[in-house]
Amino acid sequence: MKIKLATFRLDFLRKRKNSEPDRFNALHSASQWTLIWAKFKDHKLALIGLYILAAFYLCILFAPIITPYDPWEDSKYIYSPPTPIHIFHEGKLHRPFVYNQEINTTPETFERIFKTDYSTPYPVRFFVKGAEYHWLGFIKSNIHLFGVDPKTSINLMGTDVLGRDCFSRNIYGLQISLTVGLFGVFITFILGSIIGGIAGYYGGVIDNIVQRVVEFISCIPTIPMWMALGAVIPQDWGNLKVYFAITVILALRSWTGLSRQVRSKLLQLREEEYIVAAKVSGTSGWKIITTHLLPGFLSYLIVSLTLEIPKMILGETTLSFLGLGLRPPTVSLGVLLQDAQNLAAISAYPWLLVSAVLVVIAVLAFNFVGDGIRDAADPYKN
């Protein structure tokens, strides 16, 4: 054990002390979390996933500032393709700028054609004034990270059927889609650990009943069940209510898996000698659970919760895509994908699929991070 620990790479310790005995001491005095983090850093994919997620959640937090337009504001640029950003104007180097797009309609087919007007460059400016917003709900401002002259428009990911800026809509969509998973996992965590904890700690009849209910629920195919529950949400509910209803629906399915894990882990830990020792020496039940049992499988819980989030994101996206989840004007990645429902739309306006790419990236990132934590937090793995 000593040899194994000493040989595995711990960068953070190498920096501090170089002599062998010091390294050894540092290794042994390192806390559990320091060790987990050190090992997690060795997992390259997990680290990349973590950076991506950090970037996504920063975007979410600063969504109104990063986005150049109000995501619900219509414009005359309907189905405009992504605006290219140039740095050469008439052969000379220029600060980054965009050209204006003129919209013409062909008289024969009424097809709209975008023609680039190469005469005037409109530089991309930073911290420009634009649509007013309330950051975090109470800080009123109209400063946006970047933008162009109101005479033209900058749409990094194109625009949709009403000329709304897809970049802004996708960022706001991330806001909803990535938090649905967090809230859902929070509910899953509470339901799963309480129910599974009771079943595992008491065992016997209670355990039996809980196990049967879990089996009942897992017999119903997930998507049909979600669809049925999604259809139950009344049409006249407000956005916020629907949002919470969806998180509850997603959690209703996933707590079963977690409760099973908590139960089996508890059943197993309950018999360990150190728990028996604690009981014999008169430690209270609450103290045993919180100081002896919980740390034993907390890392385990965190892993399965991290791996549960992407499933919820996919669930929300699928439900919203089918029109049984969140509904416009709420923007989530699934709602945005409703516009890409048929072949004609996809082949004519492929940039509508950017939302799908974001979903895939987010789901992959969560999975990598989950795998990374699992490898790092399991002390019994070599």
Interacting residues toward another protein by CB under 8 A: 215-216, 218-225, 227-232, 234, 310, 314, 317-318, 321-324, 337, 340-341, 343, 346-347, 356, 359-360, 363-364, 367
CA 155 centroid distance within chain: 24
Q: Name the minimum Å distance from CB 376 to another protein.
A: 17
**12 or 237: CB nearest another protein:** 237
Helices (H), the chain: 2-7, 11-16, 20-29, 32-42, 44-61, 63-66, 166-202, 204-219, 222-232, 239-270, 273-280, 285-287, 294-322, 333-337, 343-348, 354-377
Least separation in angstroms between residue 366's CB and another protein is: 9
Q: How far is the CB of 171 from another protein (least distance, A)?
A: 20
For the chain, the residue count is 382
Which residue lies nearer to another protein by CB, 155 or 367? Answer: 367
- Residue 21 CB neighbour total at 10 angstroms: 8
**Left, alpha or beta for 137 (phi > 0: left; psi -120 to 50: alpha)?**
left
Please say which residue, 30 or 267, places its beta carbon nearer to another protein.
267
Enumerate the β-bridge partners of residue 97: 86, 123
Residue 168 has a CB neighbour count (10 Å cut-off) of 26
- Nearest distance in Å: CB 257, another protein: 9
Distances (CA, A) of 270 to 205, 262, 289, 293, 344: 17, 12, 10, 8, 59
Choose between 161 and 232: whose C-beta lies nearer to another protein. Answer: 232
Closest distance of CB 54 from another protein, Å: 19
The CB-of-184 to another protein minimum distance in angstroms stands at 16
The amino acid present at 253, given as its one-letter code, is R
Query: d(Cα 132, Cα 139) in Å, to the nearest integer?
Result: 10
Element (H, E) at 88: strand 86-89
Compare residues 82 and 323 and give the one whose CB is closer to another protein: 323
The residue among 163 and 370 lying less far from another protein, judged by its C-beta, is 370
Q: Token pair for residue 54?
A: 């950090």
Shortest reach from residue 195's CB to another protein, in Å = 17
CA distance 3 to 252: 46
Q: Which is nearer to another protein, 100 or 320 (by Cβ)?
A: 320
Residue type, 209: I
